[in-house]
Chain A
Amino acid sequence: MHIIVKLFAQYREGRFKVEQREYPKGATAQTVIDELCLENTSPLGVLMVRGKHVQPTYTLQEGDEVALFPKVGGG
């Protein structure tokens, strides 16, 4: 499956901003998080697919855009 992965804040360091990547059918958002070792950098803060918050157990669909943020805040 083609999946667009977008990384933000500290997750970009040593990785990328946005990439189209390949994942097998049945892969979840957690697969992406693990493959990129994101939580070695910082705990996961926000996970969105197509602009909506989902859980890491979310099963990816062809063409999904996955956005991953470490814990960030402001206001």
Chain B
Amino acid sequence: MADLIYRVNMSELSFKIEEVPSKWMGLGGRGLTSTIVAEEVDPECHPLGPNNKMVFAPGLLSGTSASNSGRNSCGAKSPLTGGIKESNVGGTSAGIFSKLGVKALIIEGLPKDENTFYQLHVTKNKVEFIPVPELVGKDNYAVLDAMMAKYDKKVAVMSIGRIGEMRMNIANISVKDPSGKLRSHGRGGLGAVMGSKKIKCITVDAADYKEVTIADPEKFKEASKVFTKALQENPISGQGLPAFGTNVLVNILNEAGGLPTRNFRQGNWEHAENICGETMAENIKARGGKTTHGCHAGCVIQCSQVYNDKEGKYLTSGFEYETIWALGAHLGIQDLDLIAKMDGLMDDLGVDSIETSVVLGLAVDAGILAYGDGQKAYELLSHDIPMGTPLGRIIGAGTHILGKTYGLVRVPTVKGQGIPAYEPRAVKGQGITYATTPMGADHTAGYAVATNILNSGGHVDPLKKEGQVELARNLQIATAAVDSTGMCIFVAFAALDDAKCLPSLIDMINARFGCALTIDDVMNLGKTILRTEHEFNIKAGLNSASDRLPEFMKYEILPPHNVTWDFTGEEIDEFWNF
């Protein structure tokens, strides 16, 4: 059976099942969410008002046996950036949507009754609206437990915690992973949009269905084998990521002078060794956690891990470099276990661990806490923010608003979104991505660190301007395309360095749908997605002046390489020349 669009109207508490218009047929993941948001959402609308829409869409290959294809995209106008947003996640939702034959779930409107939160239960050809007063005021694990108790089978669960209910900009949407832990549609405040629509959780039950059809199973199998082999044989995806997770980056960025420290005042941190991936891996081995763990079934890379405390009790999983950096070098916490505890708490609360940790680091400049004061940071996170105290709300509004509230100049944001983990002045290609991506400062949008620092896909000197705009452009185009397939972005390392990887990915898409796409077609898709998102942003009021890094980076010299952000506006704007 062909996939269908499930359209939910929260104003009427009604739903429609629609055929997929032919223009959306070849799209999935980010390509589809961004296309639908651009077509159907007024760019001038209030992100938390009745005219914003949320769109969930699994990738083109989600639900198939293709390795690493289980990413689900969520799109909307972002309350954090005021522009278009797509955020994708592992977990079980992409596979389950695909198995049910859901091409996209579009959620429109706002309920008239402001006091009722709903569970949306999606089954074959049906969406139920179940009031869940008992879950109001609860965080993600309590919601997950309630849903697991209710459905004695595998259902996808997407939920928000108290912070999403309060519609704070740091709120994310959490998704159940195969081991019953949480992954998140992290960035851009999508949890606030879900909260505005009074949706506490969405469950999807596909237990009796398997609607994913493969036009040419033989060809698919063959291509899938080549693709998996490319991932496994690549030293980064095959060895480095599983052994140390993404946190292996602490030391490499620290060495390169690109580890933003003390709110972007230095490029190295003297305590990096305390929080680095090597230390993390040692702790995991000694304490009986897991160094490898997949955020969804079918991940052969397994960059995630299970991190326990000294007593061997679970602290967190999906413990990522960017979060560890922000609570570590940026905010000054030297205790990796406390960072892990905060990471686990952020999962439960349902907040973007990057935005939340970056804003907590900025709170040091605001005088709210001292650099390195982990206890106070924990108190803000566990008390002020989830209780919605006035201070908690200001912090929960994100980095940009905290900076404005306290009259700060050194505020690390682009388009209102906190800059993560890579110092733009010392990793200039990444700086171009931060400046230009329609998502606001998002490292995954075009990961120039790969080529600037990691020698993946060649090498472009991170400290020089030459070649950076082109690098960031090519990576952003490729990423927009990959984000449409349902693939995890870490397949990019193999794609950058192994000539067999990308063709096998395209072969899988062709075999799944019986089409004949070429690499050029796929790159053109990436370009179209970027342009669509860019146009939405322009109509929403974001212009080229929004494609800029914070001004202080132009005049403050960053040690140890003593560099500034030295691109002119015209040089940055060249990005859009494609």
Q: Which A residues form the contact surface with B (CB < 8 A)?
A: 6, 8-10, 12, 17, 42-43, 45-46, 48, 51-53, 67, 69-75
Contact B237 A73 (CB under 8 A): yes
Contact A75 B255 (CB under 8 A): no
Given contacts A10-B243, A72-B454, contact A42 B235 (CB under 8 A): yes
Contact A75 B455 (CB under 8 A): no
Given contacts A72-B244, A73-B456, A75-B449, contact A9 B443 (CB under 8 A): no
Complex Cα gap A8–B247 (Å): 12
- Extra inter-chain contacts (18) besides given A51-B268, A71-B239, A74-B245, CB under 8 Å: A9-B251, A45-B235, A46-B454, A46-B455, A51-B256, A52-B463, A53-B455, A70-B240, A71-B235, A71-B454, A72-B241, A72-B248, A73-B237, A73-B246, A74-B248, A74-B249, A75-B443, A75-B444
Complex Cα gap A72–B560 (Å): 23
Complex Cα gap A17–B278 (Å): 10
CB-defined A-B contacts under 8 Å, sample of 21: A8-B252, A10-B240, A10-B243, A45-B236, A45-B455, A46-B252, A48-B255, A53-B459, A69-B252, A71-B456, A72-B236, A72-B241, A72-B244, A72-B454, A73-B241, A73-B246, A73-B456, A74-B247, A74-B321, A75-B249, A75-B490
Contact B453 A8 (CB under 8 A): no
Whether B186 sits at the interface, judged by CB under 8 Å, is no
Inter-chain contacts of A10 with B (CB < 8 A): 239-240, 243
Complex Cα gap A46–B453 (Å): 8
Which residues 264-320 of B have a CB within 8 angstroms of A?
268, 273, 277-278, 303
* Residue of B239, B246, B257, B461 touching A74 (CB-CB under 8 A): B246
Inter-chain contacts of A46 with B (CB < 8 A): 252, 453-455
Inter-chain contacts of B6 with A (CB < 8 A): none
Closest to A11 in B: B278
Whether B339 sits at the interface, judged by CB under 8 Å, is no
Whether B434 sits at the interface, judged by CB under 8 Å, is no
Inter-chain contacts of A45 with B (CB < 8 A): 235-236, 240, 454-455
Contact B251 A8 (CB under 8 A): yes
Whether B227 sits at the interface, judged by CB under 8 Å, is no
Interface centre among A51, A74, A75 (most CB of B within 10 A): A74
Contact A9 B255 (CB under 8 A): no
Inter-chain contacts of B256 with A (CB < 8 A): 48, 51, 53
Closest Cβ of chain A to B94, distance in Å, is 19
Whether B376 sits at the interface, judged by CB under 8 Å, is no
Contact A42 B239 (CB under 8 A): yes
Given contacts A43-B235, A51-B255, A53-B459, contact A73 B277 (CB under 8 A): no
Complex Cα gap A9–B291 (Å): 13
Whether B359 sits at the interface, judged by CB under 8 Å, is no
Closest Cβ of chain A to B275, distance in Å, is 14
Inter-chain contacts of B277 with A (CB < 8 A): 9
Closest Cβ of chain B to A19, distance in Å, is 15
Complex Cα gap A40–B156 (Å): 44
Closest to B461 in A: A53
Inter-chain contacts of B235 with A (CB < 8 A): 42-43, 45, 70-71
* Residue of A8, A51, A67 touching B561 (CB-CB under 8 A): A51
Which residues 515-535 of B have a CB within 8 angstroms of A?
none
A-B contact count (CB 8 A): 99
Inter-chain contacts of B278 with A (CB < 8 A): 8-9, 12, 17
Complex Cα gap A12–B273 (Å): 13
Contact A67 B255 (CB under 8 A): yes
Inter-chain contacts of A48 with B (CB < 8 A): 255-256
Inter-chain contacts of A70 with B (CB < 8 A): 235, 239-240
Closest to B497 in A: A71
Whether B489 sits at the interface, judged by CB under 8 Å, is yes
Complex Cα gap A58–B576 (Å): 37
Given contacts A12-B278, A46-B455, contact A73 B450 (CB under 8 A): yes
Whether B141 sits at the interface, judged by CB under 8 Å, is no
Inter-chain contacts of B321 with A (CB < 8 A): 74-75
Closest to B449 in A: A75
Complex Cα gap A72–B544 (Å): 35
Contact B493 A73 (CB under 8 A): yes
Which residues 435-480 of B have a CB within 8 angstroms of A?
443-444, 447, 449-450, 453-456, 459, 461-463
Complex Cα gap A42–B248 (Å): 15
Closest to B276 in A: A8
* Residue of B240, B251, B273 touching A73 (CB-CB under 8 A): B240
Inter-chain contacts of A43 with B (CB < 8 A): 235
Complex Cα gap A73–B273 (Å): 18
Inter-chain contacts of A69 with B (CB < 8 A): 251-252, 255
Closest Cβ of chain A to B557, distance in Å, is 15
Closest to B234 in A: A71
Closest Cβ of chain A to B302, distance in Å, is 13
Contact B489 A75 (CB under 8 A): yes
Complex Cα gap A46–B278 (Å): 16
Closest Cβ of chain A to B412, distance in Å, is 18
Contact B560 A51 (CB under 8 A): yes
Closest to B252 in A: A69
Closest to B489 in A: A75
Given contacts A73-B237, A73-B450, A73-B490, contact A6 B244 (CB under 8 A): no
Contact A74 B303 (CB under 8 A): yes
Closest Cβ of chain B to A10, distance in Å, is 7
Which residues 483-530 of B have a CB within 8 angstroms of A?
489-490, 493
Inter-chain contacts of B443 with A (CB < 8 A): 75
Inter-chain contacts of B453 with A (CB < 8 A): 46, 53
Closest Cβ of chain B to A56, distance in Å, is 12
Closest to B257 in A: A51
Complex Cα gap A29–B256 (Å): 17
Inter-chain contacts of A51 with B (CB < 8 A): 255-257, 268, 560-561
